[in-house]
Each structure stands twice: as structure tokens, then as C-alpha cells.
Amino acid sequence: MPPAAIVFDCDGLLLDTEGSWSVGQAGLFARHGREFGPEHKQALVGRSMLEAGPIYERFLDLPGHGTELTDELVKLVVAELGRTGCAPMP
């Protein structure tokens, strides 16, 4: 019998992934010679990848590369999650 529903947790509702996103974002910035700070986190938190792409383009001075930057970020976050895991939210 197929499942009655599927939940996609993309915003930390079920799993505490924010730390892994922060590590990934800092890594992305470092790869592009930049430092990731609180003002960057504030501008990006809660954004979809579609919304975040242009923001990364602006912060990293790479216009037109939003998709590549978000793809790179996802790989970094997945690697961090694989390394550290994540806890369920209370």
C-alpha cells in the first residue's frame, strides 16, 4: 500500500539541520574567498534555493551563477550531515 502522505522537511521542522547549513554556507563562502557572517545568515535564513541563488550571486560577486552556487552548497551541507548527523527537533 502506498503511503498516505509524505513530509518534506526543508526548514528544520523535523530535524535540526540549521548547524549543517551554517557550516555549508561558511564553506561555500570560504571556497570563494569570502567570510560568512551573521548578516549573510540573516539574509538567507528561511529562503528557498530559488530565492537564495541571487543572494549568493550578490554576496560572492558571481552574477548568473546562483544555480551552481546553490548546488555547491547542497553538496557541502549533505557532506556535513553525513559527517555529523542531525538530531530530531523536540
What is the number of structural domains in the chain? 1
* Longest CA pairwise span in the chain (Å): 50
Residue 6, domain member (yes or no) = no
Query: Could you tell me if residue 4 is inside a domain?
Result: no
Task: Report the percent of the chain where pLDDT is more than 70.
Answer: 98
The values of phi and psi at residue 87, to 5°, are -95, 150
CB of 86 closer than 8 Å to CB of 12 = no
* Residue 41 belongs to some domain of the structure: yes
Confidence of residue 10 (pLDDT cuts 50, 70, 90): low
37 lies in a domain?
yes
Q: How many CB atoms lie within 10 A of CB 70?
A: 21
- Kindly state whether residue 71 falls inside one of the protein's structural domains: yes
In a domain, 3, yes or no: no
pTM above 0.95, yes or no: no
The whole domain housing 70 covers 16-85
First CA to last CA across the chain, in angstroms?
Answer: 30
